[in-house]
Chains A and B, each alone.
Chain A
Amino acid sequence: MSTLVLPDFELLLPQNIAEAVGYLSQYGKDVTVMAGGTDVLCQIKGGLRPPYILSLAEIPDLDYVIYDPSKGLRIGAMATMAQVVENSAVKASYPALWQSAAQNGTPQTRNTATVVGNILRASPAGDCSCAIMAHGATVVLAGPDGTREVDIDEFWLDYLVTARKPDELAVEVKVRPPKKTARSAFSALNRTRQDLSKVSAAVLLEMDGKTCTDCRVVMGAVAPFILRLRGTEPHLKGAAVTEEVIAKVAAFASQEIRPIDDIRSTAEYRRAVCGPLLARTIRAALKAA
């Protein structure tokens, strides 16, 4: 097969979540779930041969982006990145997520690709995934025995492996409500402006004046999955965010990451730019009012 012709597969088109979960229980690991489809179809054109594709296209009411200042942001499984970008509440309250969605893919893919799909793909280079982890979130999974929530910090287990069981369907991601003093930003480096990220960073800083009281520091494309830099965060938490502190944080980050050589860049380069990119992201978060 090729990028011109798709291989054979069975299509499952559930009309509601229960039906979807039923199919997953029945066919388990043989099913590839398709939300927007842009990523799954690229994988199939690249050689993936799922016996079953389960499309969520006809399950109603999964395309919501709902913000509540006390409860946070709920993004349904079929909500597209374009919907996130067009949402003014997201832009105001979740700058990192907004920035990541605005540059993830292209305008056409953003009209189809979903945020939840990005998380389930578990690519270590997923832009939305990187930002979502910085904000803190839980993934809502519907299974045969009901729903459960998994913290994003525990969701990506290994390269392309998530905590979702084969008979579960991710139906929503709940992003934590931001504190009023929260600042966030996302940035990435790539080969050209139309590209997957070769290294990315997202930070959430809770500020008290010039002091960072709490933080989440996340980087993409530097480990087998989106990496929360727990070893670096303590150097920022509780500190006044000066250029000295930023430099210290940058130095620790470049030691904490585990980059590899791949088609987009090298381990050596990623390690060299990790610090500057993270510094840039911290400064951007603080600059935005």
Chain B
Amino acid sequence: MKRRDITLYVNEEKYELNVPVNKTLLQVLREDLGLMDTKYGCGLGECGACSVLLDGDKAILACLALAATMNGKHITTVRGLERDGELHPVQQAFVETGAIQCGFCTPGMIIKGVSMLARNPHPDETEIKHGLEGNLCRCTGYVKIIKAIQRAGELLDSRSSG
């Protein structure tokens, strides 16, 4: 086939699309759905700027996924994390800790943060550094990003207990 009808759930909204088979999920998100928060940085899976969540908490790369093979899948992008104007704890932590400079890696970093904390709610610095593999930042040197993820863990703790 050269085109395919697919259903995609993105940020809890249902989209019915007809896509060329050679379009990546990243292209469909940006070009067909107008969702610009997921970025292109390298196209080959190194920078992680195109990271999105599959099924709520699994980070995958939108630039290395064919949209036509994603029929029925549930995707969350960074703009799907906010609730009624309130930042998700991971977003809030990035804002508070000075972990955002140019901001281009930020959506991917936040997605990675959500995914990491879903599996390991209290990661130490070494675990975060290894968990950040696949997300490159050129501005911050990662130091405050690591602090942000630790802070996010604290915020998520207080959110679930409070």
> CB within 8 Å of A: which of B38-53?
40, 42-46, 48, 51
Q: Is B58 an interface residue (CB 8 A)?
A: yes
Q: Is A88 an interface residue (CB 8 A)?
A: no
Q: Are B22 and A3 in touch, CB under 8 angstroms?
A: no
> Does A4 contact B43, Cβ atoms closer than 8 Å?
yes
Q: How far is the CA of A53 from the CA of B69 in the complex (A)?
A: 11
A11 touches B68 (CB 8 A): yes
Interface residue from B22, B65, B135 paired with A7 (Cβ < 8 Å): B22
Contacts of B42 in A (CB 8 A): 3
| Known contacts A11-B4, A11-B66, A111-B59; A42/B44 CB under 8 A | yes
B74 at the interface (CB under 8 A from A): no
- Given that A11-B1, A106-B48 are contacting pairs, would A6 and B64 also be in contact in the complex, using a CB cutoff of 8 Å? no
Q: Which of B2, B61, B71, B116 lies at the interface centre, i.e. has the most chain A CB atoms within 10 A of its CB?
A: B61
Asked if B23 CB lies within 8 Å of chain A CBs, one says yes
User: For the complex, is A112 an interface residue (Cβ under 8 Å from B)?
Assistant: yes
A84 to chain B, nearest CB (A): 15
Q: Which residues of A contact B136 (CB under 8 A)?
A: 194
Q: Is A17 an interface residue (CB 8 A)?
A: no
A108 and B51 contact, CB distance less than 8 A? yes
Instruction: State whether the Cβ of B134 lies closer than 8 Å to any Cβ in chain A.
Output: yes
| Nearest opposing residue in chain B for A86, CB measure | B119
Neighbouring A residues of B32 by C-beta, 8 Å: none
Does B133 reach chain A (CB closer than 8 Å)?
yes
B62 to A, closest residue via Cβ: A108
State how many angstroms separate the Cβ of A78 from the closest Cβ of chain B.
Answer: 11
Q: Evaluate contact between A37 and B60: CB separation under 8 angstroms.
A: no
Nearest chain A residue, comparing its CB with the CB of B131: A107
Which residue from A7, A10, A58 sits with its C-beta under 8 Å from B69? A58
Q: CA A109 – CA B135 in complex, angstroms?
A: 11
Answer yes or no: B112 CB below 8 A from chain A CBs.
Answer: yes
- Residue on B with the closest CB to A57? B69
Least distance between A118 CB and chain B CB atoms (Å): 14
A 72-116 contacts with B by CB, 8 A:
82, 105-109, 111-112
Interface residue? A248 (CB, 8 A)? no
- Which residues of B lie under 8 Å from residue A41 when comparing CB positions? 24, 63-66
Given the complex of chains A and B, what is the CA–CA distance between A3 and B50 in angstroms? 13
Distance (whole angstroms) from the CB of B110 to the closest CB of chain A: 14
With most chain A CB atoms within 10 A of its CB, the pick from B63, B130, B133 is B133
Which among B21, B24, B134 is the interface contact of A9 at CB below 8 angstroms?
A: B21
A271 to B131 Cα, complex, angstroms:
31
| Residue in B closest to A8 when the chains form the complex, CB atoms | B22
CB of A111 within 8 A of CB of B66, answer: no
The minimal Cβ–Cβ distance linking B54 to chain A, given in whole angstroms, is 7
Q: How far is the CB of B112 from chain A (nearest CB, A)?
A: 7
**Does A13 interact with chain B (Cβ within 8 Å)?**
yes
A108-B22 in contact given A13-B69, A194-B134 (Cβ < 8 Å): no
**Please, what's the 1-or-0 string for A12-56, where 1 marks a CB less than 8 Å from any CB in chain B?**
110000000000000000000010011001100110000001010
Contact in complex: B69, A55 (CB < 8 Å): yes
Evaluate contact between B131 and A108: CB separation under 8 angstroms.
Answer: no
**Inter-subunit contact A38/B61 (CB<8 Å):** yes
Is B77 among interface residues, defined by CB-CB distance under 8 A? no
Cβ distance B159 to chain A, nearest Cβ, rounded Å: 24
Given A107-B112, A112-B64, 6 extra CB contacts under 8 A: A3-B44, A11-B4, A37-B66, A45-B44, A108-B51, A108-B134
5 contacts between A and B (CB under 8 A): A4-B40, A11-B2, A13-B1, A53-B66, A107-B115
- Kindly list the 6 A-B residue pairs having the minimum CB-CB distance in the complex, ordered from nearest: A106-B134, A3-B43, A11-B21, A57-B69, A6-B22, A38-B64
Interface residues of A (CB under 8 A from B): 2-4, 6-13, 34, 37-38, 41-42, 45-46, 53, 55, 57-58, 82, 105-109, 111-112, 193-194
Binding site for A on B (CB under 8 A): 1-2, 4, 21-24, 40, 42-46, 48, 51, 54, 58-61, 63-66, 68-71, 112, 115-116, 130-131, 133-136
